[in-house]
């Protein structure tokens, strides 16, 4: 775990505390690869949604059925935000996400899980960047069905790397304005699917804490092999802790140069009882180690 310690100490030279007892494996992502910057329903709509869900809850959803009934989009992926968008120019970022993917498969062998909450200590650590690229890394494998859910209703950005629409999305489903079929998108990237954040709301915590999110995960779990949930950061709000009640496991992102040692320790402690699988050290100064074999361009940062 010394890489996390060293990176944070370098970014915070004035501090004397150390980063100790971080559980699980550590994966680092090169700094140069992080990128890019992100009324109540009417009575007849509520009745339509509840009626459709009552009917659908009685039947098991197959993937082909889900795909035929959901919204079809042609996503315009942003190469500056997705390491795998440069299919003809492999880079260190893509290689790191393949490594992270392998570590997670090994973790599943020890303790099976299907839903993975990706979060961070504070805003700006790059959790959305990690969630979107990890999802694509898994979906690139043959016949892997992956669902991404943007549960950061305060700052929804998961749709941006894929050029997808913001809504309808999770907030619309949680508030009873839309069905699961209406909020789920297929964008033409294999079996990779997305439920975006949806319409901005003033009460995200109340929506997240309701029973509908748990029902959504329960409904989608038999259909998808991986469900990757982009969560709000741990320390500023309580949403991440609420989401861990539903998700099987947690992956925490630590930003080298943005996350203080104390904040990283506090966030890690808050997730200790939540099946915290490990830490992703983002913006690690490792790019030069790959530059000869994995060329890539420098991009702007995405504080999500």
CATH number at residue 115: 3.40.50.300
Indicate whether 266 belongs to any domain.
Answer: yes
Would you say residue 48 has pLDDT above 70?
no
Mean residue pLDDT of the chain comes to 82
Indicate whether 137 belongs to any domain.
Answer: yes
Poorest-pLDDT segment among 18-22, 114-118, 121-125: 18-22
Poorest-pLDDT segment among 15-24, 53-62, 79-88, 92-101: 15-24
> How confident is the model over 183-187, as a mean pLDDT?
95
Distance between start and end Cα atoms, the chain: 24
Count of structural domains within the chain: 1
Would you say residue 251 has pLDDT above 60?
yes
Rounded Cα distance between 110 and 113, Å, is: 10
Query: Would you place residue 53 in the very low, low, confident or very high pLDDT band (cuts 50, 70, 90)?
Result: low
Indicate whether 53 belongs to any domain.
Answer: no
Between 112 and 26, name the one with better pLDDT: 112
Query: Would you place residue 258 in the very low, low, confident or very high pLDDT band (cuts 50, 70, 90)?
Result: confident
Domain span at residue 108 reads 2-38+70-289
Indicate whether 127 belongs to any domain.
Answer: yes
Q: Answer yes or no: pTM beyond 0.75.
A: yes
Poorest-pLDDT segment among 42-46, 70-74, 168-172: 42-46
Rounded Cα distance between 284 and 157, Å, is: 22
């Amino acid at each position: 775990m010394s890489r996390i310690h060293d990176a944070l100490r370098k970014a915070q030279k004035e501090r004397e505390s150390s980063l100790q007892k971080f559980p699980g494996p550590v994966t680092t992502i090169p700094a140069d690869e992080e990128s890019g910057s992100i009324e109540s329903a009417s009575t007849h709509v509520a009745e339509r949604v509840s009626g459709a869900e009552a009917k659908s809850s009685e039947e098991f959803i197959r993937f082909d059925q889900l795909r035929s009934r959901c919204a079809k989009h042609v996503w315009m992926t942003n190469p500056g935000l997705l390491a795998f968008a440069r299919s003809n120019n492999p880079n260190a970022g893509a290689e790191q996400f393949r490594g992270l993917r392998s570590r997670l498969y090994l973790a599943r062998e020890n303790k099976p899980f299907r839903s993975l909450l990706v979060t961070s200590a504070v805003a700006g650590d790059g959790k959305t960047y990690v969630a979107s690229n990890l999802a694509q890394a898994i979906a690139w494998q043959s016949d892997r069905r992956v669902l991404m859910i943007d549960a950061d209703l305060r700052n929804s950005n998961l749709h941006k790397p894929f050029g997808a629409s913001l809504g309808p999305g999770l907030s619309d489903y949680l508030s009873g304005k839309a069905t699961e079929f209406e909020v789920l998108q297929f964008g033409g990237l294999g079996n990779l699917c997305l439920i975006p954040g949806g319409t901005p709301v003033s009460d995200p915590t109340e929506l997240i804490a309701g029973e509908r999110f748990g029902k959504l995960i329960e409904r989608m779990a038999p259909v998808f092999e991986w469900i990757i949930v982009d969560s709000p950061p741990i320390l500023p709000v309580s949403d991440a802790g609420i989401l861990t009640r539903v998700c099987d496991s947690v992956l925490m992102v630590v930003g080298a140069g943005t996350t203080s040692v104390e904040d990283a320790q506090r966030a890690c402690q808050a997730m200790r009882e939540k099946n915290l699988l490990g830490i992703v050290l983002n913006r690690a100064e490792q790019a030069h180690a790959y530059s000869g074999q994995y060329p890539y361009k420098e991009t702007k940062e995405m504080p999500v």
